[in-house]
Amino acid sequence: MDSIEERIKKLKQEKNAVILAHYYQCPEIQQIADYVGDSYYLSKIAKETGQELIIFCGVRFMAESAKIRSPHKKVLLPVADAGCPMADMADINKIKALRKQYPDGAVVCYINTSVEVKALCDVCVTSSNAFDIIRKLPERTIIFLPDRNLSAYIADKCPEKEFIIYPGYCIVHNKILPEHIMELKIKHPNVPVVAHPECRKEVLAFANFVGSTGEMLSYAKSSDSSELIVVTEEGIRYALEQQNPRKIFHFPYPQIICANMKKTTIENVLWALEDETTEIHIDEALRISALNCLNAMHRLGN
């Protein structure tokens, strides 16, 4: 009997499928994936890949974003309830009310949002392009949702804009406190800190570099330091160690784990390929509205 990995490989070839995985996925998922990346990179690959069957190992908003831009492709999310609690914090009625309250503002949503929310927004961003895109917008008032931490971080870098900050947050990154970083800094005083912008402002204050998961990996690769303090979800450790076998990475304690990202197992990937039942379906009118918002990101982000 073939191993699960071999069965996945065979089925993938037979069905001409591609496996995409986020850096927070378990190592065994990252190992069998054709592409591993941050949200922006995966969104680009999903559109550009020639394969018509996409197995998206991540959370729902990522698979939805792939389907929005490639409606003719079959996009499977191996675990149907792998969601993002921060995405669920964006409330449609509150967004509509904010638009009314600030009619001259641009409504900017983080890619960590549902298709229904994207359909109401002007432009989408990820943590790797939020600053570049917002800077280019003609509007002075920016209604940013749902992540208050990313929003505050970008607002500091764009003093020419007025930010209306929505009160959402990542339940994983928001648990990291300044004292967790202090503890690491005391143990490793001269080691640089890299952090994800979904962390609290008081945590980002320790960072030598702030960026998306993909940008944190690029920083780690080019850094002269043989050790780094890494402030984000633990799953990134696999790619960090693969790419930098001689460097040492220190993570906060207690471990920072996104339970939703960890729902996908290697068996789920096999079953998704076998049964093709966990498909993302989006109403066509809704998809078209959300497409404008995602296309604006890819246009302005390039």
Q: Is 81 exposed, middle or buried (0-12, 13-18, 19+ CB in 10 A)?
A: exposed
Binding to ligand SF4 (CB under 6 A): which residues in 72-101? 84-86
Alpha-carbon distance of 15 to 68, in angstroms, equals 22
Binding string, residues 94-133; x marks residues near ligand SF4 by CB under 6 A:
------------------x---------------------
Binding at 64: pick from ligand 13P, ligand SF4, none (beta carbon under 5-8 Å per type):
none
Binding string, residues 11-50; x marks residues near ligand SF4 by CB under 6 A:
----------------------------------------
Q: Which one-letter amino acid corresponds to residue 25?
A: Q
Determine, following the binding rule CB under 6 A, whether residue 49 of this chain makes contact with ligand 13P. no
Determine, following the binding rule CB under 6 A, whether residue 30 of this chain makes contact with ligand 13P. no
Binding at 85: pick from ligand SF4, ligand 13P, none (beta carbon under 5-8 Å per type):
ligand SF4
Binding at 43: pick from ligand SF4, ligand 13P, none (beta carbon under 5-8 Å per type):
none
Binding at 38: pick from ligand 13P, ligand SF4, none (beta carbon under 5-8 Å per type):
ligand 13P
Determine, following the binding rule CB under 6 A, whether residue 112 of this chain makes contact with ligand 13P. yes
Closer residue to ligand 13P in complex, CB, 155/261: 261
Closer residue to ligand SF4 in complex, CB, 83/178: 83
Q: Considering only residues 4, 98, 171, 191, which one is a binding residue for ligand SF4 as defined by CB under 6 A? A: 171
Binding at 129: pick from ligand SF4, ligand 13P, none (beta carbon under 5-8 Å per type):
none
Categorise residue 276: left if φ over 0, alpha if ψ from -120 to 50, beta otherwise: left
Tell me how many residues contact ligand 13P (CB under 6 A).
9
Binding to ligand SF4 (CB under 6 A): which residues in 47-76? 59
SS3 string, the chain, reads CCCHHHHHHHHHHHHCEEEEEECCCCHHHHHHCCEEECHHHHHHHHHHCCCCEEEEECCHHHHHHHHHHCCCCEEECCCCCCCCHHHHCCCHHHHHHHHHHCCCCEEEEECCCCHHHHCCCCEEECCCCHHHHHHHCCCCEEEEECEHHHHHHHHHHCCCCEEEECCECCCCHHHCCHHHHHHHHHHCCCCCEEECCCCCHHHHCCCCEECCHHHHHHHHHHCCCCEEEEECCCCHHHHHHHHCCCCEEECCCCCCCCCCHHHCCHHHHHHHHHHCCCECCCCHHHHHHHHHHHHHHHHHHC
Determine, following the binding rule CB under 6 A, whether residue 129 of this chain makes contact with ligand 13P. no
Q: 65 — phi, psi (to 5°)?
A: -60, -35
Closer residue to ligand 13P in complex, CB, 233/266: 233
Q: Considering only residues 261, 266, 273, 282, which one is a binding residue for ligand SF4 as defined by CB under 6 A? A: 261
Which positions touch ligand SF4 (CB under 6 A)?
59, 84-86, 112, 170-173, 198, 233, 258, 260-261
Question: Which residues of this chain interact with ligand 13P, rule CB under 6 A?
Answer: 38-39, 112, 126-127, 170, 198, 212-213
